[in-house]
A and B are shown apart, each in its own frame.
Chain A
Amino acid sequence: MEPSLFSKPRDLFIDIVNPKDYVQIDSVSHMYQSLKTSVQKPLKMILLYGRPGTGKSMLLHKLHHDLSKHQKVCMIDIPIIDENDFLRVLAHKIYSYASRESLSLTNFLELSTAVNYPVTPIVLLDEAQLYSPSLMEKIRLISDARALKFVITLHKTDNEDIIAKEHFQTRIWESIELENASYEELKIYIQKKLLKANCFDVANMINDKNIKLITKLTRGNYRESNKLMFALFSLYTWYEEHYPSKIKYNALNTKWIEMAAIHTGLIRA
């Protein structure tokens, strides 16, 4: 069977975080650069925050990918909620210290002086809103002792950043807020993703009116946009199979965009 024109673009929008898929968007690259600079400074902690789907995990993974070539970096993308586990995993990952016993904070700090890396290792913590206040306190003590540097991502929720207020505000040296994409940014995001994968024909189909509608529906949220595009290209593969004559190659079909939005729940119908 002939390969579908739309299955590849569709799969580009599966909602997975992989630094290899990182797309350069001006504002995001800017933040990324300042993040990279901050990480080199003798800072305590760096906070990346924003609503779900604004690209926090992506930025963190990208940082991990880029830094790990040059220095000790440890990514904890699934929060380790248990406090004992947390220190043990860090000790293992950073100082290759294997222990079945739980580790006290003092032990941990001793370990860090004993190993003494020339450059302070960096720990990347995704989804930090899941950590308990007392664990956050330990993290702060570790960074205050300059044993490790932490870059932390935090969901900004509507009931507001309780953790952020209590534990970061005064202590964080730098915080970077990620936001939903503007129309221009979303346009770049979608186009670059397609072009990177050599889906030129499909990229050419997308006009400004299409992007406007997509931005309106997803409010520029990357995750919502991914879901919408995935559903949209799934529809295209279906029509390609069943009613190829219905496909117009000069623009994306507004009706199908809306159908995709209904499917993903962005439009209630």
Chain B
Amino acid sequence: MLDVSKLEKRWLKYKIKKILPYGLLLTAIVTLGILIPSYLFDNPVTVSPASQKKERMQAKPALAIATVNNEEAMILEPSMNFIESMTPASIPTAEATANPPVISNKSRLIPNVIPAISPIVQEPKIQPPVMPKVQPVVKGKSTSITRDDAAFDIHELEERFKNNSNPNLGLYIARYHYDHGNYTESYNYALKTNAISSTMEESWLIFAKSLVKLGKEDQAKKTLQLYISNSNSQSAKNYLDTLNKEPSR
């Protein structure tokens, strides 16, 4: 039921993405550290009124820095605000000394900078359950799969589902079949589950995904649209977007 090597690759990608912002941050700091002094001494006039800034920083120090740095990070072009916060030691301006607790502490500054910069590279965030983009395992690829199946009797669950019509169970069976590449079965069970409980997001997604696998992408899109209009489901929206962007996923 699991394509482990594929999952390992996705994990690696995820890790790289996660570390990337920090790498970029480091590069940015180093680059700015080199650029700032020259920039500063070349353009002393462009410095915006210090007092004004000071007020802002005193009122909401952490936030101000975070937003300011965020802007800077986006434009990637050094400005006074950023310079002051990054290099307090090397540039002992009146302002820097006036606000020692806020800007002169490098170690405290870093945590503010990280979340501000990360949006550029779109650090992956934990989200409510999203479409597992896992590919169904190719049958016969590994022996463990068959053995796992034996340990867990799907027919028994199906029997139980017949008796209790529990939507959670229906969904489980649908999911199971989807994971095993039995898309007609997953379609059927998701359909039954939706009929019992129309609010189970995952069941709708499996239903749509099964349709895609069965080559009925248009029908899948229609179903998703219908479901989205009733539920406002973000996962369904995401999946619909993926379908529209890259057909036959």
**Interface residues, chain A, with chain B CB atoms under 8 Å away:** 1, 3-4, 7, 11, 14-17, 57, 77-79, 127, 129-130, 155, 159, 216-217, 224, 227, 231, 234-235, 237-242, 255, 258-259, 261-269
Question: Are B152 and A7 in contact, with the CB atoms below 8 A?
Answer: yes
Report which residue of A227, A235, A267 has the largest number of chain B beta carbons within 10 angstroms of its beta carbon: A267
Question: Are A241 and B7 in contact, with the CB atoms below 8 A?
Answer: no
Contacts of A217 in B (CB 8 A): 126
**Contact status of A269 and B197, CB under 8 A, knowing A7-B152, A11-B152, A235-B2:** no
Cβ-closest chain B residue relative to A7: B151
Interface presence of B244 (CB below 8 A): no
CB distance from B122 to the nearest CB of A (A): 10
Question: Are A242 and B125 in contact, with the CB atoms below 8 A?
Answer: no
- Pick the interface stretch among B45-53, B62-70, B83-91, B167-175: B167-175
Report which residue of B4, B165, B198 has the largest number of chain A beta carbons within 10 angstroms of its beta carbon: B4
User: What is the bound-complex CA distance between A7 and B1, given in angstroms?
Assistant: 13
- Interface positions, chain B 149-188, Cβ under 8 Å from A, are 151-152, 164-169, 172
CB distance from A231 to the nearest CB of B (A): 7
CB distance from A75 to the nearest CB of B (A): 10
Among B10, B125, B130, B166, which residue has its beta carbon within 8 angstroms of that of A17?
B166
Contacts of A155 in B (CB 8 A): 199
Contacts of B165 in A (CB 8 A): 78
Question: Are B132 and A263 in contact, with the CB atoms below 8 A?
Answer: yes
- 20 residue pairs bridging A and B, Cβ less than 8 Å apart: A4-B151, A11-B152, A77-B164, A78-B165, A78-B196, A130-B197, A130-B198, A130-B199, A227-B129, A234-B2, A238-B4, A241-B143, A259-B7, A259-B10, A262-B11, A264-B129, A267-B127, A268-B124, A268-B127, A268-B130
- The count of chain B contact residues (Cβ–Cβ below 8 Å) is 39
Question: Are A266 and B152 in contact, with the CB atoms below 8 A?
Answer: no
Contacts of A7 in B (CB 8 A): 148, 151-152
Contacts of B235 in A (CB 8 A): 265
Question: Are A259 and B131 in contact, with the CB atoms below 8 A?
Answer: no
User: What is the bound-complex CA distance between A155 and B198, given in angstroms?
Assistant: 13
Question: Are A17 and B131 in contact, with the CB atoms below 8 A?
Answer: no
Interface presence of B144 (CB below 8 A): yes
**Contact status of A258 and B11, CB under 8 A, knowing A15-B168, A238-B142, A266-B126:** yes
User: What is the bound-complex CA distance between A217 and B167, given in angstroms?
Assistant: 25
Contacts of A130 in B (CB 8 A): 197-199
Contacts of B214 in A (CB 8 A): none
Question: Are B11 and A255 in contact, with the CB atoms below 8 A?
Answer: yes
**Contact status of A262 and B14, CB under 8 A, knowing A78-B166, A130-B197, A235-B2:** yes
Contacts of B196 in A (CB 8 A): 78
Among B11, B130, B151, B168, which residue has its beta carbon within 8 angstroms of that of A11?
B151
CB distance from A253 to the nearest CB of B (A): 11
Interface presence of B60 (CB below 8 A): no
Contacts of B124 in A (CB 8 A): 267-269
